[in-house]
Amino acid sequence: MIVRFLYGGSALIFLSAAFAAQPSASPPLSAPLRDLPWGQLNFLHTTDTHGWHAGHLQEPSFSADWGDYISFAERLHEKADDEGVDLLLVDTGDRIEGNGLYDASDPKGKYTLEIFGEQDIDVICSGNHELYKANSSNNEYDETVPNFLGNYLASNLDIFDPKTGEQRPLAQRYKKFTTKNQGIRILAFGFLYDFTGNANNTVVKKVEDTIKDKWFQQAIRDRDVDLFLVIGHIQLRSQEFARIYRAIREQQWDVPIQFLGGHTHIRDYAKYDSKAYALESGRYMETIGFMSITGLSTGGKSNEAADPDFKPSASPSFSRRYIDNNLFSFYHHTSLNESTFPTEHGRNVSSMISSARKKLQLDKTYGCAPRDYWTNRAPYPSKHSIFSWLGDEVLPGTVCDPKRGDKPRMVLTNTGAIRFDIFKGPFTVDNSYTVSPFTSGFRYIKDVPFSVAKRLLQILNQEVPQLWPASKSFASKMPAQPNQAHTSHGLEHVYQPSEQMRLGKAHTYDEKDLTPGYTTTDDGGSDGDDTIHVPITFFRVPSCLESRIDFPPTSASATHSSDSVEPVLIDLIYVDFIQSYVLLALKFLGTDYQDGDTEVYMQGRDMTSLIAEWVQGHWDCE
């Protein structure tokens, strides 16, 4: 009845029932799947969703939306309750920035905060992206924390209350709770890595200092705990998680610990010891992480009531699965189908998402891409590299400030400013945000000697990482880092068909049926992905690229750059996000440019709008 009211006609009712995912999403493809390794305690984990709550409309592997995830969680809860086991949902931050659904609204997040808040999450924390702007951390404080009250944890994060100006914890530091079905007593923390790029209305306390705090030291001495749960917007192989792990182990050498992390946008699973494991569940709503533990003590239950099947054992077993976020996987793991799977709540949220996308006109087309352009799936430079396209076509075609005219100029940008691939076909408003969601503008220094400027790129790509003080690496300061992350973990590993043939029930499949996708290798081996794929090759790209514009023409016959006439002075333009690095590199080259020598270039423009403008002018749809 309600659906009829919302949609009006009976034909449309059928359609809305058939597509739980967004109407314009590509349908999922069938593929051989590994089952979920259910245990006594189970987790569903999301991280670094960055506004992709409508799913990936152009990629069948990741085309389920947040409403489908709500249905999925509700169905798995039913299953857990039937079997008397527990299921907990966790999200580890960076929910915002990176997709039109968040970025295109005014104010930003007008729709996504509510959409995201519909999921019933048991333990949740903040990422760094929630803290770059005062507005977004205030949104956490005013909306997300109250929505997840009691579940939102901020172990090392404070905020200045926007009304009183008083410094206080963004949310409670930790929580202790007992699971519903098994009676497992869990002590949970929610951390952020030692992030320093936040706006001045929040305070991130270093992990090494936080673990010395009295409240933390007291909490980890609690003997009535069956499991420590440490969630964090922190990569698994980090000093921060290592410090928390050691601090807990100093007090409790034997109690199992589960870590759930994020930030580096990869699938990863790490073993710290035989009773301490960590899971990271990718990025952008591509992955729903599944984690299970069996063999935990159940101190929250009286002995009579305890299930005899789940006696505490000397060594509990831990298991993980990375679920490709699509309906084919969801149907399989719930043993349901398109008519039995969606819940009313899940459907409602899918409708909220479609209606927000419509209001934001995210499907409006700027033009049509003639081919795919990849961030990491093509080498740089090459015809299919999005960075070659940016440096050779977009920037030369758009970077010009009337006040400087066609003076020879160089543009420097960090490759992290480009966040995602472009697929052949329609390039929409939504795509302009997924490709480059950042609101950084451009600045420049006028009349820089070209003899200096031409050496900058190499310095930025090779020297600055070592020069830059107080940071783990250059890459960790950049807004996006799938570039670094993907090449060092998971996705690059070699496909091993013999190992992956063993499926739940002696299934056999043809390799030609496999589609390209994640083929992860981690501390648990190479059987973590739910969907069996052929691997995708990933290429490393530099941290920065440059584009030279309106340089003096070369002589007609000249084909080598050495034949061109070099300008003496150029305007040095850069994305303002990298100003401190550019100034540092200039210093390294023996010059003395200061903040005061820099000025705004192309007032009010950012990468998102330049790309949209270029596409409108160059990519016709047939």
**Interacting residues with ligand NAG (CB under 6 A):** 2, 107, 135, 160, 200-201, 337-340, 344-345, 348
Please give the structure tokens belonging to residue 223.
């003997």
Nearer to ligand NAG, 143 or 213 (CB): 143
Are 430 and 615 a contacting pair, CB within 8 Å? no
Burial level of 466, CB count in 10 A (0-12/13-18/19+)? Answer: exposed
Query: What is the CB neighbour count within 10 angstroms for residue 302?
Result: 9
- Distance CA(534)–CA(513), nearest Å, equals 10
- Distance CA(389)–CA(427), nearest Å, equals 15
Nearest CA-CA partner of 439 in 136, 54, 235, 234:
136
Are 420 and 482 a contacting pair, CB within 8 Å? no
Nearest approach, Cβ of residue 491 and ligand NAG (Å) = 34
Nearest approach, Cβ of residue 532 and ligand NAG (Å) = 23
Nearer to ligand NAG, 147 or 348 (CB): 348
- Distance CA(290)–CA(181), nearest Å, equals 18
- Distance CA(457)–CA(454), nearest Å, equals 7
Nearest approach, Cβ of residue 552 and ligand NAG (Å) = 41
How far from each other are the two terminal CA atoms of the chain, in whole angstroms? 41
Nearer to ligand NAG, 46 or 201 (CB): 201
Nearest approach, Cβ of residue 110 and ligand NAG (Å) = 9
- Distance CA(243)–CA(249), nearest Å, equals 10
Nearest approach, Cβ of residue 112 and ligand NAG (Å) = 14
Nearer to ligand NAG, 396 or 441 (CB): 441
Nearer to ligand NAG, 126 or 520 (CB): 126
Nearest approach, Cβ of residue 314 and ligand NAG (Å) = 42
Nearer to ligand NAG, 139 or 547 (CB): 139
Determine how β-strand 257-261 pairs with β-strand 227-233: parallel
Nearest approach, Cβ of residue 143 and ligand NAG (Å) = 11
The H-assigned helical ranges of 468-535 are: 474-477, 482-488, 497-500
Nearest approach, Cβ of residue 332 and ligand NAG (Å) = 13
Nearer to ligand NAG, 344 or 511 (CB): 344
Nearest approach, Cβ of residue 135 and ligand NAG (Å) = 4
Nearest approach, Cβ of residue 84 and ligand NAG (Å) = 24
Nearer to ligand NAG, 6 or 558 (CB): 6
Are 349 and 118 a contacting pair, CB within 8 Å? yes
Torsion angle (degrees, nearest 10) of CA 99, 101, 104, 107: -120
Q: Which residues contact 66 (CB under 8 A, 6 or more apart)?
A: 53, 54, 55, 115, 116, 118, 119, 285, 349, 350, 353
Nearer to ligand NAG, 337 or 361 (CB): 337
Nearer to ligand NAG, 202 or 476 (CB): 202
> In Å, what is the CA distance from 108 to each residue of 17, 99, 311, 433?
30, 11, 49, 12
Q: Which residues contact 457 (CB under 8 A, 6 or more apart)?
A: 412, 544, 545, 546
Query: What is the CB neighbour count within 10 angstroms for residue 536?
Result: 17
- Distance CA(306)–CA(504), nearest Å, equals 30
Nearest approach, Cβ of residue 14 and ligand NAG (Å) = 12
Nearer to ligand NAG, 107 or 308 (CB): 107
